[in-house]
């Protein structure tokens, strides 16, 4: 049962309140939508209060080429990625001692908001003192499901190599994909929701002496994972690639899909381990948006308080694509107790679901 030992994060310097972004969007979209006042209700109703961005608001009011936006992604991804790794490996809250970069056997790099070859983790390895033998596993295009998927792949790696310590590094700079000339409702909703940030998770295999490393009273262990992809659902979520960059695809049917499609998947996954949703002490849900979290509560018949941590992350950071569920997980590292169960879940392009069963020991 691979263990989650530490989580560190890093955020860009510009913090914008939701009201500022709403007024910006009103100016931008007012000519495109006759009912702009009604549509702007998504900003206060979404329960996002503030978000972090790599650029100030003036930057988004100007035209930028795909090259300019992607170069900005690479620069900020390297800086924030290095900071998040350091914050994870030198975390006094979760670790008894600092973990050296040379101790890391593999890095799983998760992103969907920028393109780089060599990939970002290779560039970071020229800044931080990782071993030249560190394995690199970049995963691109998983979107909001990427954080949970990265944990799942790290789990499998540590099952195969139980002496390993690995990092899951989720880097999402969603604001750099903003298209000021895309006057679609999907873009308006995305403008009300997405933010920037980086989260890094340290995962260790069974043969690592976790008690000598981790200072948590109860250490979360990953017991099982499941990936599920819905057939013929490519248009639910993702990017449309055009000459000037990435255009968001964001179906209004996502909450309905959560209600109808996810419940049997979750039920079957838990039954395979002789558990039920009522057995879960903690529900670690990616906050895709208020309607998505409400759909989780309705579909799985959860107590509303089960998604309080997800709502807290949504309120203070917005949706940071793959990184967001890892922020929610971070909130549970100290509050959970021994012998408690957790279910971690994210949804993303494909359309796909990622589930992880976690137990604190």
d(C-alpha 23, C-alpha 86), whole Å: 36
Of 106, 81, 86, 101, the residue nearest 198 (C-alpha):
81
Q: Strand locations in 234-340, DSSP E?
A: 237-242, 245-250, 282-285
Would you give the DSSP letter of residue 262?
I
The backbone torsions φ and ψ at residue 142, rounded to the nearest 5 degrees and listed phi first, read -85, -10
Q: What is the DSSP string of 6-65?
A: EEEEE--SEEEEHHHHHHHHHHHHTTT-TTHHHHTTHHHHTT--EEEESS-HHHHTS---
Return all residues near 274 (Cβ < 8 A) that are at least 6 apart: none
Burial of residue 341, with CB atoms counted within 10 A of its CB: 0-12 exposed, 13-18 middle, 19 or more buried: middle
Q: Which of 88, 101, 144, 174 is catalytic?
A: 144
Asked if 200 is an active-site residue, the reply is: no
Which are the catalytic amino acids? 144
């Amino acid at each position: 049962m691979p263990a989650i030992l530490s989580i560190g994060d890093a955020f860009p310097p510009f913090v914008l309140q939701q009201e500022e972004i709403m007024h910006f969007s009103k100016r931008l979209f007012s000519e495109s939508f006759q009912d702009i006042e009604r549509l702007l209700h998504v900003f206060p109703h979404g329960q996002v209060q503030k978000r972090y961005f790599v650029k100030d608001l003036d930057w988004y009011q100007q035209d930028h080429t795909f090259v300019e936006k992607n170069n900005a992604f690479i620069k900020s991804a390297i800086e924030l990625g290095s900071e998040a790794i350091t914050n994870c490996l030198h975390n006094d809250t979760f670790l008894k001692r600092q973990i050296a970069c040379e101790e890391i056997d593999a890095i799983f790099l998760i992103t969907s908001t920028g393109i780089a070859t060599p990939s970002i983790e290779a560039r970071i390895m020229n800044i931080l003192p990782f071993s030249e033998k560190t394995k690199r596993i970049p995963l691109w295009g998983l979107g909001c499901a990427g954080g949970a998927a990265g944990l799942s792949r790290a789990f499998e790696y540590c099952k195969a190599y139980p002496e390993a310590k690995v990092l899951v590094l989720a880097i999402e700079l969603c604001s750099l994909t903003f298209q000021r000339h895309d006057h679609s409702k999907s873009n308006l909703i995305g403008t009300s929701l997405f933010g920037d940030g980086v989260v890094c998770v340290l995962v260790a295999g069974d043969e690592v002496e976790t008690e000598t490393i981790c200072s948590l009273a109860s250490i979360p262990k990953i017991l099982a994972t499941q990936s599920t992809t819905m057939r013929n659902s490519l248009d639910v979520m993702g990017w449309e690639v055009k000459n000037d960059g990435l255009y968001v695809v964001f179906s209004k049917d996502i909450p309905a899909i959560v209600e109808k499609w996810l419940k049997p998947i979750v039920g079957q996954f838990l039954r395979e381990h002789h558990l039920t949703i009522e057995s879960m002490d903690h529900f670690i849900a990616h906050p895709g948006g208020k309607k998505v979290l409400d759909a989780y509560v309705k579909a799985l018949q959860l107590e509303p308080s089960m998604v309080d941590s997800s709502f807290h992350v949504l309120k203070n950071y917005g949706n940071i694509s793959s990184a967001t569920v890892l922020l929610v997980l971070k909130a549970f590292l100290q509050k959970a107790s021994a012998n408690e169960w957790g279910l971690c879940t994210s949804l993303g392009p494909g359309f796909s679901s990622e589930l992880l069963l976690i137990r604190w020991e």
